């Protein structure tokens, strides 16, 4: 049985390199579509474990392939439902169905096809929040079905493509990255905690931290969005990180960093922050880069972080561009 893995289209070759580094150069991998690959001979539990541990950072969603059909040969809905149910050890009360395409479409027609067929068999269908996930990818030439337990899927969104609503309250697009990291990795921020936001302007990550109950020190010479200025639990330090650290006497529970600098410089900034964070405190940082070798650049940044942090997760999330999100704890 093959495992299907989803990536950002321009990161596919880096994901292949990571998988072969982890499981051997002879592992069979083929490209299904721009952002979907197929790997044979590796259990999904093993692949998910390597991704969760941060040894594979460019894969963002997994499912176990059960069938593939040409676009003109797709069976009727009731046949697809039978195929899915035969793959499960126990008859389910509910399943999540997640459909996506290799174009701008949402895959909604495939979702509704499977939803109706499974409902006719007495199975409740939702888009997320179930222990077992049915994946349906519609490419230009084929439709591929997969099944996986949520715990090994890496993301509870179709192909790892997390969709977050845009609202008038949002300060910046960067908020999506922090929201996705918190949801994807199941992070729990301490109730009533103190958080440090490095490079905060205009305050997107600060706003998300406040939504999670944190009192926030926002460090940036730039200004914060006017909508944040009346919040007494936001303390804007309009200075550089270095000057802030020289004068700071607060001990933080959480530190985040979405600063625009290369991977190693950003990681070194986190080393400077570490003495100001409680032992076991949570750290979230985006390591930016890209270039000719984004994988090696990310690894160098993570090696620097490990001087004062235990790296828990590292992944190129859907809302990351030429960057990865790293989650760590102070040692």
DSSP string, 168-191: TT---TTHHHHHHHHHHTT--PPT
In this prediction, residue 290 carries a pLDDT of: 63
Give the model's pLDDT for residue 317.
Answer: 96
- Told to judge if 288 belongs to the known catalytic residues of this protein, a careful annotator would answer yes
Q: How far apart are CA 164 and CA 216, in angstroms?
A: 23
The DSSP string of 136-153 is EEE-SSEEEEEEEEGGGT
Report the alpha-carbon distance of residue 148 to residue 98 in Å, rounded: 11
Q: What is the DSSP letter of 317?
A: -
User: Bridge partners of 137?
Assistant: 100, 144
Contact 266, 235 (CB under 8 A): no
Show the tokens assigned to 56.
Answer: 């594979």
Catalytic residue among 177, 194, 288, 308: 288
Q: Identify the sign of the CA torsion 12, 56, 62, 316.
A: negative
In sequence order, the 6+-apart residues with CB closer than 8 A to the CB of 88 are 132, 147
CB 294 within 8 A of CB 58: no
The answer to whether 110 and 75 have CB atoms below 8 angstroms apart is: no
Q: What's the DSSP call for residue 260?
A: S
Dihedral (CA of 69, 73, 74, 75) sign: negative
pTM, two decimal places: 0.93
The number of helix segments (H) and strand segments (E) in the chain equals: 9, 15
Instruction: Answer yes or no: are the C-beta atoms of 202 and 222 closer than 8 Å.
Output: yes
Which pLDDT does position 204 carry in this prediction? 97
Is residue 253 helix, strand or coil?
Answer: strand
Tell me phi and psi for residue 37, to 5 degrees: -125, 165
Q: Which two tokens stand for residue 257?
A: 């960093």
What local confidence, expressed as pLDDT, does residue 104 receive? 63
Contact in structure between 214 and 195 (CB atoms under 8 Å): yes
Q: For the chain, list residues with pLDDT below 50.
A: none
**CA 291/CA 322 separation, integer angstroms:** 8
Phi, psi of 264 (to 5 degrees): -70, -40
CB-CB contact of 294 with 267 (8 Å): no
Query: Where do we find the tokens 């950002």?
Result: 8
Instruction: Express each pLDDT in 105-121 by its tens digit.
Output: 678 999 999 999 999 99
CA distances from 188 to 69, 126, 179 (A): 41, 25, 12
Tokens standing for residue 9: 């289209």
pLDDT (0 to 100) of residue 102: 85
């Amino acid at each position: 049985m093959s495992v299907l893995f989803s990536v950002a289209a321009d990161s596919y070759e880096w994901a292949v390199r990571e998988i072969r580094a982890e499981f051997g150069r002879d592992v069979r991998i083929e490209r299904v579509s721009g952002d979907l690959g197929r790997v044979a001979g590796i259990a999904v539990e093993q692949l998910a474990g390597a991704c969760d541990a941060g040894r594979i950072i460019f894969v963002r969603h997994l499912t176990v392939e059960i069938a593939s059909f040409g676009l003109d040969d797709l069976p009727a809905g009731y046949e697809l439902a039978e195929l899915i149910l035969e793959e499960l050890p126990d008859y389910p009360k509910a399943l999540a169905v997640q459909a996506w395409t290799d174009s701008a479409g949402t895959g909604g027609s495939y979702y509704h096809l499977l939803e109706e067929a499974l409902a006719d068999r007495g199975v409740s269908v939702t888009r997320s929040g179930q222990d077992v996930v049915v994946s349906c990818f519609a490419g230009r030439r084929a439709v591929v079905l997969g099944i996986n337990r949520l715990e090994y899927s890496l993301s509870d969104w179709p192909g790892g493509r997390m969709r977050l609503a845009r609202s008038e309250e949002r300060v910046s697009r960067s908020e999506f990255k922090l929201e996705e990291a918190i949801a994807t990795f199941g992070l729990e921020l301490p109730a009533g905690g103190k958080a440090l936001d490095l490079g905060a302007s205009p305050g997107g990550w600060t706003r998300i931290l406040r939504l999670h109950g944190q009192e926030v020190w926002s460090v940036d010479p730039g200004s914060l969005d006017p909508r944040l200025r009346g919040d007494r639990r936001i303390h804007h330090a309009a200075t550089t990180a270095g000057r802030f650290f020289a004068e700071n006497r607060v001990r933080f529970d959480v530190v985040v960093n979405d600063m625009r600098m290369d991977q190693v410089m950003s990681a070194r900034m986190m080393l400077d922050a570490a003495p100001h964070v409680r032992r076991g405190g949570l750290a979230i940082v985006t390591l930016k880069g890209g270039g000719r070798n984004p994988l090696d650049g990310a690894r160098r940044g993570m090696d620097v972080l490990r001087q004062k942090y235990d790296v828990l997760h590292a992944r190129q999330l859907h809302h990351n561009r030429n960057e990865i999100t790293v989650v760590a704890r102070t040692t």
